[in-house]
């Protein structure tokens, strides 16, 4: 199929048939009519999990660990979980000097048998429709150890500073990680400085395999 176009603007009239516009190096020019994530969300394919003011448990991807959040894609689900974003926010500062990294872990795993949460559809805002099994600040009993993938941010506080400021961390994953059927993804803090609590969220699309 041959796709051709004209360089530069050829018209603005509503309702007319237009030739595709091209840039100076024959690149197709694209302008977003809707917000970046609108289409998948509107089609009902976007889901999220969140937790507020969680007193976390140190998590390094070990079997049966307790992350802030996790999503498991059951074998045979027929969908890929395509990670779009992960966020972390500080609620209560540590009461003593310390630091920690917030990391994403992922890998093949058995289905966790601990307390599971139904993810929320980002369009309907109802807890229904997802193939994923959610974990919200609870032990992933029976899960397999999963590997370190990436660090999305760090938190550090020193008593000498006398004050602490921690802006929310938002990692725009943009599909860099796909949780295929039979795999698990989790977000957690490597250590938990005394008294620290966190908000956290995961957003993903569910796309047919």
In the chain, what are the domain boundaries? Answer: 35-208
Q: What is the number of residues in the chain?
A: 209
Residue 34: pLDDT band (50, 70, 90) is confident
pLDDT at 9: 61
pLDDT of res. 200: 97
Question: Do 126 and 202 contact (CB within 8 A), yes or no?
Answer: no
In this prediction, residues 12-24 reach a mean pLDDT of 73
> pLDDT confidence of 88, banded at 50, 70, 90?
very high
pLDDT confidence band for 57 (50 / 70 / 90): very high
Which tens digit of pLDDT belongs to each residue from 142-183? 999 999 999 999 888 776 655 555 668 999 999 999 999 999
Q: Check whether 87 has a pLDDT greater than 60.
A: yes
Is the pLDDT higher at 11 or at 62? 62
Q: Which residues pair with 101 in a beta bridge?
A: 154
* CB burial string 6-21: b at 16+ within 10 A, e below: eeeeeeeeeeeeeeeb
Q: What stretch of H or E contains 50?
A: strand 46-54
- State whether residue 154 is helix, strand or coil: strand
Structure pTM? 0.86
CA 201 to CA 187: how far, in whole Å?
A: 9
């Amino acid at each position: 199929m041959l796709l051709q176009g004209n360089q530069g603007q050829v018209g603005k009239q509503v309702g007319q048939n237009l030739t595709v516009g091209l840039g100076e190096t024959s690149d197709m020019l694209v302008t977003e009519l809707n917000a970046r994530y609108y289409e998948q969300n509107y089609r009902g394919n976007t889901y999220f999990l969140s937790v507020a003011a969680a007193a976390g448990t140190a998590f390094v991807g070990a079997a049966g660990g307790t992350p802030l959040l996790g999503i498991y894609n059951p074998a045979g689900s027929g969908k890929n979980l395509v990670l779009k974003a992960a966020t972390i926010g500080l609620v209560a500062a540590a009461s003593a000097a310390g630091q920690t990294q917030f990391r994403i872990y992922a890998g093949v795993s058995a289905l966790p048998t601990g307390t599971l949460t139904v993810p929320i559809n980002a369009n309907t805002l109802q807890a229904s429709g997802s193939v994923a099994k959610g974990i919200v600040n609870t032990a992933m009993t029976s899960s397999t150890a999963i590997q370190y993938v990436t660090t999305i941010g760090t938190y550090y506080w020193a008593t000498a500073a006398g004050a602490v400021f921690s802006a929310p961390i938002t990692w725009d994953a943009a599909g860099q990680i796909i949780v295929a059927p039979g795999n698990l993804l989790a977000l957690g803090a490597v250590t938990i400085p005394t008294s620290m609590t966190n908000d956290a969220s995961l957003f993903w699309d569910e796309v047919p395999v």
